[in-house]
Every structure is written in C-alpha cells, then in structure tokens.
C-alpha cells in the first residue's frame, strides 16, 4: 500500500470515526472529541523541485471539536517549522507557499491541534535539487598539440546560478587520482593552469564543483609530441616529416613549386619549373611580341606577361585598346578594322533591298556601315522591294509584294489616272467629230492594278464624196447624218491603273 493510499484511507477513517461515550456518575453522559483529521492534498508524495522554485502546499483539516480554534503548522525536517501559516478556510482547506527550501530530501509535515490538545498530522516526502555549474573547455582547442617538457596552459570557462565564478572549484584530472592542476578562476569565469607533460596522448577531464556540491565535467584529448614532430603551420608535415619551413603552409614535401624564390617542395631547388615567360614590350602598353622573351618570377622593365601586341611601337594599339573608326589601323589587334561600336561610329539601319532606306533598330558602325546595316535612316515602309521608298515618284500597275501599292511610303495609295471621259460630239465649225471634254475612263475609275477602257479621242466615219457635197449644204452636219450615214465614235484604249 502506497503512502498516498494510506493517507487517503486514514483521512476517510478519521471522518467516519463515531463519537465515544461513557457514563460518569449517576446520570451524566460525557461526549469525547476525536483528534482533527489531516491530509496533504498537493504536492504528491515523491515530487521533485528545482532549488529556488516556488512550491505551493495544499492540505485539508476536518475536526468535530466545536469549543475553539484549530492551530495549524507546516514544517520540514531540514528547515524546521515555517512561521505564520494561514488558518483553515470554512471548508477546512489550508495553503502554504515557499520558495526557500534548502536543497535535499524533505519530510514535509502538516499538523493540526485543537483546544483539547488533540492533534492530527500528515506528511509527504519531496526533493529539492540544485542546478550544477556550467563548464566549457577553452584550451586545448581541437587538434592542438603540446610540446614535450614545455609548459602548456589548460583553460575553461565556468558559471553558476548561485555562486560567483571565482567561488567555483575547477580541477583537471588525467585519471581518478589527484588532480593534474586546479584552475584559478577570475570574476568573469575564465580559469587557467599550466602543466608540463611528457610525450603521449592524454585524456583530460575538467570537473567543476559549486558550493552546494553540484558537479559537472567535460573531457578533451591533448597530444604531447617531440618539438620536431609538431606541425606548427598546419600543412600536415612536421620537421621530422621533412618540412623545410614549418612556419609556411605552402612549403612542405610534395608542395606545388611557386615562382617566389622559395624551395616550396623541399627538394633543395628553388622555383624549378615555375618561372614565367615575359615578352618584349617596347611601347610599354602591357602587351608583348614573340620576337624576344625572358624567363623569371617577375617581369623586367620593358617586358610583359601577355602576348599579342600587333604594333609594339604604338602604345595605343594592343588587344585592350578601343577600335577607332576610319584611321586605317587595327587598334585592338583582332585583324578587323572599323568594327561595330568603334570610337566615332554612327547609327546604321538594316537595308535589305539596298535602296538606301532602312528599317528597325540601329547598330553603331563606322562610315558606310556594315551589311545589312547600311542605311542612315529607318524610313523605309517595305524593305523587300527597292521600288518602295519614301522618294518614289513613279507609278506601278502591280503591288509592291505585300498587296499594297504604297510605293512612296506616305501611308496611302495614290492613283495615276483619276479622270472620266466626256461624250463624242460633232463640231459645227469644223464639220468634224470631236471629244467634248478631256480624256478619261469610260464609266468609272478602276482600282490600282485594274484595267478599263480609256477614251482618248473621237473619230467620224462617212463617205468622202458625200462629205464634200454636204459641205455646200445649209446644214452640213444634218446632211452627213441623214444623207451620208456618218457616225461620230469614241477611240478606245485598254489602260491599267497605276498607283504609288
């Protein structure tokens, strides 16, 4: 049976206990009071708390005594009785809160005493634990080595919720025996001590202990080596491994030889196979020619590392130079002249039909442009037909290639012929058949490219002898029409409408 079950059964028994009665004298009846019933409800038995944590305690008192108040007390077997507890409320509940319990395992007791000195109590066991200090090793760091028979500093940083850093004891152990050394800790929590060790690998355990006896530990490994076995520069080689300069990470056996006047690969040769080639640079523009060169780690005056100058007498001519329009020089040594975007270039547009009128976006070229960018404007309306151009004055009876007849790029199709012809009539003065107005199409003006009848003149048809006789008539025209059967007819020509 658990303590909790025991307390519950005890409390229930106390609540149900009947009054005890006895006879006193001849006719008196004396009622005996029961001791107060007591139960701790919270916290549960066996609960654990952190040091400094606020702990609420709740209990309940049940008493049949009616002759006076109930005295209540809370106590710890470690910290003693607590002062001024609250009395039970009307329902018998009592509460107590504390955050000052010492670390350790406490037997907490709730006791109730009535006016007849009858008492009841209940108890629980709780544990209050202190947090240990924090500890981190600062020295040695990962991969760090010690030197045989030379002092090596061990270091750590500590802190604690209750103790000042300098009050924390920090010891370093190699095994379970006496500490190797004890760290002197300053007010900032930094501690150190020095040790001298022989060659070997050591498993170091740092142990920090605060004033409550709480401990924490951390471990690391330190390797102590012969001075000439230590790799000072971290390149993987020590002096005993053949490193000829243990203070340079670029110098060790098998390293790449650099052109730096140093024996990088420790083979007793300097700069072998690492020298650079420098070319003659007579114009000092940073670019040389292949006719003359030297080898070395640095360029002598008048020599350059880069090859490719195409005119070593002109410092403005080299692969880094800017091309200049129309100066007759390959300024940037790429075998091309007057390249796009050269200094002095102008805007040129695509002229696919070579009519000197272009379209689209421009590119910057030297004089004359570069095909197809040869036009100095972008006003062409149809760049697939050279006849279609803004200055076109001719008319065409066929479309320009896209069903349009706008050959002069004005946005419209202008007709070459727009007049309509008048009728034929007899001339009473000259006794002849003439066109009564201007030449033109018969009926209506045809559209661009369409063919229609064009009346250019009128002609009379008659018998010449009859015509001569009618000239002596008082009405020659009527004579020709009625006597000679003359007619006055239009002269037709088939004509196709031109546009631009």
3-class DSSP string for the chain:
CCHHHHHHHHHHHHHHCCCEEEEECCCEEEEECCCCEEEEEECCCCCEEECCCCEEEEEEEECCCCCCCCEEEEEECCCEECCCCCCCCCCCEEEEEECCCCCEEEEEEEEEECCCCCEEEEEEEEEEECCCCEEEEEECCCCCEEECCCEEEEEEEEECCCCCHHHCEEEEECCCCCCCEECEECCCCEEEEEEECCCEEEEEEEEEECCCCCEEEEEEEEEEECHHHCCCCCCCCCCCCCCCCCCCCCCCCCCCCCCCCCCCCCCCCCCCCCCEEEEECCCCCCEEEEEEEEEECCCCCCEECEECCCCCCCCCCCCCCCCECCCCCCCCCCCCCCCCCCECCEEEEECCCCCCCCEEEEEEECCCCECCEEECCCCCCCCCCCCCCCCCCCCECCCCCCCCCCCCCCCCCCECCCCECCCEEEECCCCEEEECCCCEECCCCCCCCCEEEEEEEEEEECCHHHHHHHCCCCCHHHHHHHCCCCEEEEEEEEEECCEC
The per-residue pLDDT for 15 is: 45
**CB neighbour list of residue 385: distance below 8 Å, 6 or more residues apart:** 353, 400, 401
pLDDT in the model for residue 242: 93
What are all long-range contacts of 12-15, with beta carbons under 8 Å and residues at least 24 apart? 14/38, 14/62, 14/120, 15/62
Q: For the domain 134-229, what is the CATH code?
A: 2.60.40.10
pLDDT at 336: 94
d(CA 500, CA 491): 28
CATH superfamily placement of domain 3-129? Immunoglobulins (2.60.40.10)
The total of other beta-carbon atoms located within 10 Å of residue 464's CB is: 7
pLDDT for 266: 95
Query: What's residue 33's pLDDT?
Result: 62
Q: Which residues of the chain have pLDDT under 50?
A: 1-31, 66-67
pLDDT of residue 65: 56
Q: Where do the CATH 2.60.40.10 domains begin and end in the chain?
A: 3-129, 134-229
What pLDDT, on a 0 to 100 scale, did the predictor assign at position 259?
87
334-343's contacts with Cβ under 8 Å and 24+ in sequence apart are: 338/365, 338/366, 338/367, 338/370, 339/366, 340/364, 340/365, 340/370, 342/366
**31: how many CB neighbours lie within 10 A of its CB?**
9
Q: What is the CA radius of gyration of the chain?
A: 62
* Residues contacting residue 177 through CB under 8 Å, at least 6 positions apart: none
């Amino acid at each position: 049976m658990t303590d909790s079950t025991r307390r519950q059964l005890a409390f229930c028994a106390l609540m149900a206990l009947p009054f005890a009665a006895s006879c006193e004298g001849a006719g008196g009846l004396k009622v005996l009071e029961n001791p107060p019933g007591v139960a701790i409800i919270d916290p549960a038995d066996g609960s654990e708390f952190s040091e400094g944590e606020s702990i609420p305690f709740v209990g309940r008192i049940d008493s049949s005594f009616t002759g006076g108040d109930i005295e209540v007390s809370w106590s710890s077997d470690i910290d003693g009785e607590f002062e001024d507890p609250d009395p039970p409320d009307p329902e018998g509940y009592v509460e107590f809160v504390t955050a000052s319990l010492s670390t350790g395992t406490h037997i907490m007791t709730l006791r109730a005493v009535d006016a007849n000195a009858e008492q009841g109590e209940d108890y629980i066991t709780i544990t209050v634990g202190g947090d240990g200090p924090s500890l981190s090793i600062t020295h040695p760091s990962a991969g760090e080595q010690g030197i045989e028979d030379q002092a090596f500093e061990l270091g750590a940083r500590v802190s604690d919720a209750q103790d000042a850093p300098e009050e924390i004891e920090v010891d370093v152990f190699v095994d379970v025996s006496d500490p190797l050394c004890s760290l002197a800790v300053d007010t900032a929590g930094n501690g150190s001590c020095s040790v001298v060790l022989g060659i070997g690998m050591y498993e170091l355990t740092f142990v920090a202990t605060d004033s409550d006896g709480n401990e924490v530990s951390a471990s690391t490994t330190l390797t102590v080596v012969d001075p000439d076995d230590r790799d000072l520069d971290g390149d993987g080689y020590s002096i005993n491994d053949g490193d000829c300069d243990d203070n340079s990470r670029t110098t060790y056996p098998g390293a790449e030889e650099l052109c730096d006047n140093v024996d990088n690969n420790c083979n007793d040769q300097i700069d072998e196979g690492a020298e650079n080639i420098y070319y003659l640079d007579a114009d000092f523009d940073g670019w040389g020619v292949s006719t003359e060169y030297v080898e070395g780690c640095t360029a002598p005056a008048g020599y350059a590392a880069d090859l490719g100058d195409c005119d070593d007498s002109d410092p403005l001519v080299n692969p880094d130079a800017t091309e200049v329009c129309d100066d007759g020089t390959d300024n940037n040594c790429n075998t091309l002249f007057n390249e796009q975007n050269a200094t002095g270039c102008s805007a040129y547009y695509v002229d696919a039909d070579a009519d000197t009128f272009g379209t689209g976006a421009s590119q910057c070229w030297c004089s004359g442009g570069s095909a197809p960018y040869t036009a100095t404007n972008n006003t062409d309306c149809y760049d697939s037909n050279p006849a279609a151009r803004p200055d076109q004055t001719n008319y065409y009876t066929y479309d320009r290639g896209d069903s349009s007849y706008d050959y002069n790029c004005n946005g419209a199709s202008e007709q070459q012929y727009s007049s309509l012809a008048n009728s034929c009539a007899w001339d009473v003065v000259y006794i002849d058949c003439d066109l009564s107005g201007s030449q033109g199409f018969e009926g209506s003006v045809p559209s661009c490219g369409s063919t229609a009848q064009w009346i250019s003149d009128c002609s009379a048809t008659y018998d010449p002898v009859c015509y001569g006789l009618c000239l002596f008539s008082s009405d020659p025209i009527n004579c020709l029409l009625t006597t000679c059967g003359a007619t006055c007819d239009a002269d037709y020509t088939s004509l196709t409408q031109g546009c631009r």
